[in-house]
Amino acid sequence: MTNQLARRVYETCHLTGRFLLRSGQVSEEYFDKYLFEGQPDLLREVAEAMVALLPGCDVLAGMEMGGIPLATVMSQLTGLPTVFVRKHAKEYGTNKAAEGGPVTGRRVVLIEDVVTTGGALLASCRQLRSIGAQVETVVCAIDREQGGRENLAAEALQLRSALTRRDLEASLMS
């Protein structure tokens, strides 16, 4: 199952060229997650694979912007409530970094599309923890295997990935 899903995701969203990543790194390949997130059947399959990785939790927290479609579908599959985490708190209205229901005192799992170094996740985790969320796990669609797992572990966060870069590349060999 993982191999078939990996192949479909790779064929749908793998691009080559020169790409500047959020981490500041330059890559010759890019996984454009919006290409699979925009396809309902494939989005659902990826979300189902991610649901299988969830620990016990109270709330899913979809990271702006690519984690939001995944968290929304995962919420539909599990019945868990979802909050939507902004990169920066709004400077108007509610001034919230996490939109939706409450997270204080709740076990929250961060949901992300692609993890490279984990920088955005670390910042969001700190924000959520500062308002009382209990965050210990990140579940992602694709781990690029470029240090994210280690960087998250340094902040007591476990990374669970539906697919890794290695899975995606290995799917081409079969």
- Angle, helices 40-51 vs 67-78, to 10°: value is 70
Could you tell me the two tokens for 155? 């902040």
CA dist 13 and 15 (Å) reads 6
Consult the annotation and say whether 119 binds a ligand: yes
Consult the annotation and say whether 73 binds a ligand: no
CA dist 66 and 50 (Å) reads 14
Consult the annotation and say whether 107 binds a ligand: no
C-alpha angle 147-118-23 in degrees, rounded to nearest 5: 85
Consult the annotation and say whether 96 binds a ligand: no
Consult the annotation and say whether 117 binds a ligand: yes
Consult the annotation and say whether 22 binds a ligand: yes
Consult the annotation and say whether 52 binds a ligand: no
Could you tell me the two tokens for 140? 């992602």
CA dist 160 and 155 (Å) reads 15
Consult the annotation and say whether 113 binds a ligand: yes
**Which amino acids are annotated as binding site for orotate, given as ranges?**
116, 144
**Which amino acids are annotated as binding site, given as ranges?**
22, 86-87, 90, 112-120, 144
**Which amino acids are annotated as binding site for 5-phospho-alpha-D-ribose 1-diphosphate, given as ranges?**
22, 86-87, 90, 112-120
